[in-house]
Amino acid sequence: MPQEILQQYFGYDRFRKGQEELISSILSGRDTVGIMPTGAGKSICYQVPALMLEGLTIVISPLISLMQDQVDALRMNGIPAAFLNSSLSADEYRATLSQVYSGNVKLLYAAPERLETESFLHIAEQLPISMITVDEAHCVSQWGQDFRPSYLKIAEFLHLLPYRPRISAFTATATKEVCEDIVRILGLHDPFTLTTGFDRENLYFGVQQPRDKFHALMQIISSHPEQSGIVYCLTRKLVEQVCEELCENGISAVRYHAGLPDEERRVNQEAFLYDRVSVMVATNAFGMGIDKSNVSFVVHYNMPKNLESYYQEAGRAGRDGSPADCILLYSGRDVRTNQFLIDHSSDNAELDETTRALIRQRDEERLKQMTFYATRQSCLRQFMLEYFGESAKNYCSNCSCCKTNYEQRDMTLEAQKIISCIYRLQQRDLQFGAAAVTDILRGSKAEKYAKFRFADTLSTYGIMSDVSEKLCREMIRHLLAEEWISQTGEFHVLALNRNSARLLREKCTITLNVVKEAPPPEKKTKSEAVSEHPELFEELKKCRAGIAAKERVPAYIIFTDAALRDMCEKLPINEMAFLSVSGVGRRKLEKYGDPFMDVIRTYIKEHPEI
């Protein structure tokens, strides 16, 4: 039965990894927690059971834009769905309530704030509720990266229900600690919990350390002509600057951050979703719940403050399974900016001092792990997956470290020199950061070091003068990442630890992957994604755009790019063949099949050699 629902309404022949197990758990009546990466199909896991269960399923979702997208997509598939939020007029709200009470809605989306309203409590008292689904469930935990106090209202709402329905909760990123919070705070009863794995093989992960970030950004955008992308910046000011420069360079870009008027944010988001512009430049205020399937690249202009945020934001690329690029443009200044934001955060102003200190300590540790990722010399995917508790191979073939031509270099002697230098400085009650230690090791003549008379009195002064500044800094970063040395204090000065002494005493070998030659160009052009019949792909996109404009919905809600590519491969010209296209169910065949099959027939007629 679930398989039939999947085919009839969603147009897929088989379930993805983990979906069937989670659906079975829900149908058995058990509370269920699903941790699945962005793009892995979390919504299917509660939408399929909702269609099979008697009564109403309430989906608690954090953002209006997410509800709108989900409900539009469900309605396109012939599924009765609705939402209740502040975007509705009084008349629209009453009309939606009428539909709910008449039993014409199977899935009702609502924000957690809506749960306290009298009208919503009345629904809970009067109607049979088969399931409560909590989407973006990590928002319930103060240890999560997107804690929202309003999510704590969910538990209060559950206590007010005349009977307890089954509860399901889903999120893309949750550490063990956050997962335990989800179970405890929502009061789940012996839940079935499944983590499907965090790996998304279609995503390329890359880190660059360019001297000119904007030039690097322009190169990335030019390698994705006419494709959609998101550029994340740490600050509003930088969003404004980058967006303005992109527009001056002929890129159709819009901006999004919390400081803009609501109407401008709405218009800009809509322009991006409807493919009227190709690039969205934004702070992390943009993205949660954005179900745009054809994002081909996500560039982080600055390093985020933790891997949870990075993975969630980068994961907005390639949701339809197509190859996509996730590239981080890193500089040491990003670390300092993030530390400043942590130091001056007011998000947790209502927490007690002890909890606030614990959260700050957690944020600083997460920033350290994010920095290790950004400066890593071996497989990025391995580091990320292991961070989330998943074992991984040390070579993925689809990240900048694995694709770059490295040679392995023995840096044991250099590591001992670095540690000796830190030790000699500590003997003088002096501590410096990585930049200053690099200068001292390379024998810098800078005036700021003259007062210390290092050239005459410090044995480690200049002992690495034959090593470039860049390589010396890489070696220090590597020693930090592998915990042979530490950083302490407000200014992140270098310090020794137990491992430092062990490196000097024992026969340890330290190796570093060093770039042997310039890496190959990191490009995935549209022609690579559509290897056959690129002209047909463009015609199908035009057909889709026309229908989307007429129905006033984003193009990907009609059909995703992945579905169009499948049409290019299968060339369906009858109903049975069109139903075999990925993402085509009976409802979409009846509604859209004819115009798309007409395009394909015309193309075949014009290309008799096919």
Strand partners, 513: 408
pLDDT at residue 181 tops 60: yes
**Same domain, yes or no: 36 and 146:** yes
pLDDT at residue 158 tops 70: yes
pLDDT at residue 20 tops 90: yes
pLDDT at residue 480 tops 50: yes
pLDDT at residue 288 tops 80: no
Residue at which a domain ends, from 153, 173, 195: 195
The HSE-up count of residue 230 (CA atoms within 13 Å, CB side) is: 32
**Domain harbouring 599, CATH code:** 1.10.150.80
pTM score of the predicted model: 0.67
* 144: Cβ contacts below 8 Å, ≥ 6 apart: 138, 174, 178, 181, 308
pLDDT for the residue 516: 62
Tell me, rounded to whole angstroms, the distance of Cα 397 from its chain centroid. Answer: 20
Mean pLDDT along residues 258-265: 90
Helices then strands (H, E): number in the chain? 27, 17
**Domain harbouring 500, CATH code:** 1.10.10.10
Radius of gyration of the chain from its Cα atoms, rounded to whole angstroms: 27
Tell whether 16 is covered by a domain: yes
List the one residue out of 457, 462, 473 whose CA is nearest residue 440.
Answer: 462
The pairs formed by 342-347 with CB atoms below 8 angstroms and a separation of 24 or more are: 342/305, 342/367, 347/147
Cβ atoms within 10 Å of 407's Cβ, excluding its own: 10
CB 341 within 8 A of CB 399: no
Mean pLDDT along residues 43-52: 94
**Same domain, yes or no: 182 and 220:** no
Tell whether 521 is covered by a domain: no
Q: Is 170 exposed, middle or buried (0-12, 13-18, 19+ CB in 10 A)?
A: buried
Q: Across 136-227, where does the E strand assignment appear?
A: 166-171, 192-195, 203-208
How many angstroms separate the CA atoms of 306 and 446, rounded? 35
Tell whether 525 is covered by a domain: no
Tell whether 55 is covered by a domain: yes
pLDDT for the residue 142: 77
For 83-126, the pLDDT digits (tens) are: 988 888 889 989 999 999 988 999 999 988 888 888 888 888 88
How many angstroms separate the CA atoms of 5 and 99, rounded? 23
Mean pLDDT along residues 452-477: 91
Q: Is 152 exposed, middle or buried (0-12, 13-18, 19+ CB in 10 A)?
A: middle
Tell whether 523 is covered by a domain: no
Tell whether 44 is covered by a domain: yes
pLDDT at residue 38 tops 90: no
DSSP-derived secondary structure for 283-317: -TTS-TT---TTEEEEEESS--S-HHHHHHHHTTS
Q: What is the mean pLDDT of the chain?
A: 88
For 121-144, the pLDDT digits (tens) are: 888 888 899 999 999 898 888 776
How many angstroms separate the CA atoms of 331 and 31, rounded? 44
**Same domain, yes or no: 16 and 64:** yes
**Same domain, yes or no: 325 and 300:** yes
pLDDT for the residue 145: 62
How many angstroms separate the CA atoms of 247 and 281, rounded? 11
pLDDT at residue 594 tops 50: yes
For 410-455, the pLDDT digits (tens) are: 889 999 999 999 999 999 999 999 999 999 999 999 888 988 999 8
CB 10 within 8 A of CB 44: yes
**Same domain, yes or no: 181 and 217:** no
Question: What tokens appear for 386 in the block?
Answer: 């292991």
pLDDT at residue 69 tops 70: yes
**Same domain, yes or no: 293 and 372:** yes
pLDDT for the residue 525: 42
Which of 148-157, 174-183, 292-301, 349-358 is predicted most confidently?
292-301
Q: 276-312 burial string, b = 16+ CB within 10 Å, else e?
A: ebbbbbbbbebbbbbbbbbbbbbbbbbbbbbbbbbbb
**Same domain, yes or no: 58 and 27:** yes
pLDDT for the residue 322: 87
Domain count for the chain, please give it.
4
Residue at which a domain ends, from 482, 515, 548: 515
**Same domain, yes or no: 166 and 216:** no
Among 268-277, 352-361, 451-460, 534-543, which stretch is predicted with the lowest mean pLDDT?
Answer: 352-361
pLDDT for the residue 519: 45
**Same domain, yes or no: 428 and 537:** no
Conformational region of residue 105, where left means phi above 0, alpha means psi within -120 to 50, and beta covers everything else? beta
**Same domain, yes or no: 375 and 424:** no
Mean pLDDT along residues 273-281: 93
The pairs formed by 358-361 with CB atoms below 8 angstroms and a separation of 24 or more are: 359/142, 359/143
**Domain harbouring 156, CATH code:** 3.40.50.300
How many angstroms separate the CA atoms of 314 and 230, rounded? 9
pLDDT at residue 215 tops 90: yes
pLDDT for the residue 540: 94
pLDDT at residue 537 tops 70: yes
Tell whether 522 is covered by a domain: no
pLDDT at residue 349 tops 60: no
**Same domain, yes or no: 538 and 566:** yes
pLDDT for the residue 485: 94
Residue at which a domain ends, from 399, 421, 436: 399
pLDDT at residue 481 tops 50: yes
**Same domain, yes or no: 227 and 176:** no
Q: What percent of the chain has pLDDT over 90?
A: 48
Which of 16-25, 170-179, 469-478 is predicted most confidently?
16-25
The HSE-up count of residue 418 (CA atoms within 13 Å, CB side) is: 31
pLDDT at residue 578 tops 50: yes
pLDDT for the residue 348: 52
Tell whether 43 is covered by a domain: yes
- Domain residues for 502? 407-515
Question: What tokens appear for 344 in the block?
Answer: 């001056």
Question: What tokens appear for 93 in the block?
Answer: 């709200």
